Amino acid sequence: MTTRAEIAAIIDHTLLTPEATGAQVADIIAQADRLGVCAVCVCPSRLPVRVPEGLALATVCGFPFGAHTGAVKAAEAADAVARGADEIDMVVNLGLVKEGDADGVEADIRAVRRACEGALLKVIIESAALTDTEIVACCRAAEAAGADFVKTSTGFHPAGGATVGAVGLMRATVGDRLGVKASGGIRTAADALAMVAAGASRLGVSASLAVLEGLPE
């Protein structure tokens, strides 16, 4: 998987800055359509929005800190799906992760899973802020709760974004049973290819045009 079309097919073209306007959201949807990416990811307050046929609409839940209660996250996810979201990217409760409360982490994810049946659920674990043991525990909790993907990062945490090491560990933990989404800091074609080589099956990218322009057709 090295061509422009192949990488485009696994990109979530993303605009999650809090100051994003309706016009900017419309622009990235149009750009996503031109680039042939998999999905566009926008803030939940911007839903509903129209997207071209074949382009998935993703949004976030419990973003960016994951510190909402499970009930609030579930309500947010249900509302997003009701307003047209095809995919939900939720943030785990990092405090519970750090406390080693695997059951609590799983329950938090499961609450969202139940609220968005029929939608694709990606679980953001904020891997740069976690130890390897915590990454593995988060991946196992996400799988047990019925998630479809585990995802490295929000892109907003000061610890950083996706790394090849984290992606590889996540893929080793979930095998082929779940998808792995790398996000945060993917700005070049080389970044994207490195993440795919490590095991990523989806990429969260805001600089999609720059990434794709660096790849052969």
CA dihedral 55, 170, 88, 193 (to 10 degrees): -30
Element (H, E) at 58: strand 56-61
Residue 181 among the catalytic residues:
yes
Q: Of 12, 122, 148, 181, which residue is the catalytic one?
A: 181
Percentage helix, strand, coil for the chain under 3-state DSSP, each rounded to 5: 45, 15, 40
Tokens found for residue 30: 């149009």
If we measure between CA atoms, which residue out of 181, 184, 186 comes closest to residue 148? 181
User: Which listed residue (12, 108, 122, 151) is catalytic?
Assistant: 151
> Residue 210, Cβ neighbours under 10 Å: how many?
14
The Cβ of residue 165 has, within 10 Å, a number of other Cβ atoms equal to: 12
The H or E element that residue 179 is part of is strand 179-183
Question: Which stretches within the chain are classed as H helix?
Answer: 4-8, 22-35, 70-82, 94-98, 102-115, 132-144, 164-174, 189-198, 208-213
Distance CA 89, CA 150 (A): 9
| Catalytic hit among 12, 73, 89, 191 | 89
What positions carry a catalytic annotation?
A: 89, 151, 181
